[in-house]
Amino acid sequence: MPEKTYLQAISDGLREEMRRDQRVFVLGEDVGVYGGAFKVTLGFQEEFGPWRVIDMPLAETAILAGATGAALMGMRPVAEMQFADFVSCGWDHLVTVAAKQHFRAGTPIPIVVRLPSGGGFSGGPFHSQTAESSSAHIPGLKVVCPSTPADAKGLLLSAIEDPNPVLFCEHKHLYRRIKGDVPEERYTVPFGEARMHRHGEDVTVITWGAMVYTADEAAQRLAQEDDLSVEILDLRTIIPWDREAVLDSVRRCSKVLVLHEDTRTGGFGGEIAATIAEEAFEHLDGPVRRMAAPDSPVPFAPNLEKAFIPQVDDVVRALRELAAY
């Protein structure tokens, strides 16, 4: 099985699906000649032509509404937001039209919106945001946050197959940093099934996206330094999310940290924490802990950004506190 970067897995998965299914096409800013700001669609236009890899005007509503219209006519559009941050320009379309269309009119909207998400590069307030918590609050949208190359491909193909609008949050900090085995053949990873990233017994971390690797480093350090056994559950998809896997892990470990890169207040971690409190209260040996970015825009200066995004040291500290409780 070949080893690929997270970015290559997304790119290859998309290219293979476009070869297989004529209905799949790509639209976005600079996705054609330039191959996309992150080069996910590099070489696509040469292979598929300018009408299946469409360089769009700088207009997110036109991109997203264009995708919806084409989907209503039987296409399977994959729209790229150059950065996840810019989805706010087309937010009205997603919330008002795409998310509500099936509910009110009964017509499915099979679109995928690729969102290069997250911080860690001094992108500042407008090139670093994560959209999953805001999106998760909109009934009608599905929200996917893969953390491994294999999941990135399998979840992308599930997203294209899905008859609903799917926000595919691909983390920029994983693009070239993370490598893994990716099966050559076509496969899908189902929505709503968490991935056990690391088995443990003492405390569990519920997380997704780039924070999986932050938690992993913290878990390795705690295993060595504290002989603490940390479990890490990678949710993979936020809407729908795998409640059973979360509750099962909590029942076994009895202590839980919910960790995400999105800001704290109204962040999706609150929903997970509340569900644990409702459904697994008797199994808890400590308060449900949340760790998230503080309630501020994403800052620019490297030291400020480190203070914003949860770091390995922060996770280690929180897990030690939980273990000692």
Partner 1 sequence: MAVREAEPVSSLQEVHDAGLDREDLLGIYRNLLTTRGIEERGHILYKQGKIPGSFYTGRGNEASAVGVATAMGPHDVGTPLQRAMGVHVTRGLEPWRIFAQYMGRADGPTRGRDGNVHIGDANLGLYAMVSHLPAMLPVAVGMALAFRIREEKRVAIAWCGEGASARGDAHEGMNLAGVRKLPVIFWIDNNQWAYSTPSHLEYAVEHLADRAAAYGFEGVVVDGTDVLAVYREAKRAIEKAREGGGPTLIESVTLRMEGHAVHDDAFYVPRELFEEWARRDPIERFRAWLRDHAEMTDAEEDEITSGVKRLLNESLQRAEESPLPDPGTLVAAVYAQPEELDTPHHK
Where on the chain is the footprint of partner 1 (CB under 8 A)?
A: 25, 27, 51-52, 54, 56-57, 59, 61-62, 65-75, 77, 92-93, 96-97, 100, 102-110, 139-140, 142, 161-164
Instruction: Name which of 101 and 207 has its Cβ closer to partner 1.
Output: 101
165 in Cβ contact with 131 (< 8 Å): no
**DSSP bridge partners of 233:** 196, 206
Q: How far apart are alpha carbons 295 and 154 in whole angstroms? A: 33
Residue 129 sits at φ, ψ, to 5 deg, of -80, 160
Please identify which residue in the block is written with the tokens 């900090």: 173
Instruction: Name which of 66 and 120 has its Cβ closer to partner 1.
Output: 66
Q: How far apart are alpha carbons 184 and 212 in whole angstroms? A: 24
CB of 110 to partner 1, least distance (A): 6
Instruction: Name the active-site residue from 127, 173, 197, 260.
Output: 127
For the record, the structure tokens of 46 come out as: 């040469």
197 given a catalytic annotation: no
CB of 165 to partner 1, least distance (A): 10
CB of 34 to partner 1, least distance (A): 17
Of 295, 296, 298, 250, nearest in space to 272 by CA: 250
End-to-end CA distance of the chain: 44
Distances (CA, A) of 93 to 58, 169, 194: 16, 18, 29
CB of 225 to partner 1, least distance (A): 45
Q: How far apart are alpha carbons 260 and 141 in whole angstroms? A: 20
For the record, the structure tokens of 15 come out as: 């290219």
Instruction: Name which of 240 and 286 has its Cβ closer to partner 1.
Output: 240
Residue 236 sits at φ, ψ, to 5 deg, of 70, -50
Instruction: Name which of 164 and 207 has its Cβ closer to partner 1.
Output: 164
For the record, the structure tokens of 195 come out as: 């991935």
CB of 308 to partner 1, least distance (A): 31
So which residues are the catalytic ones?
127
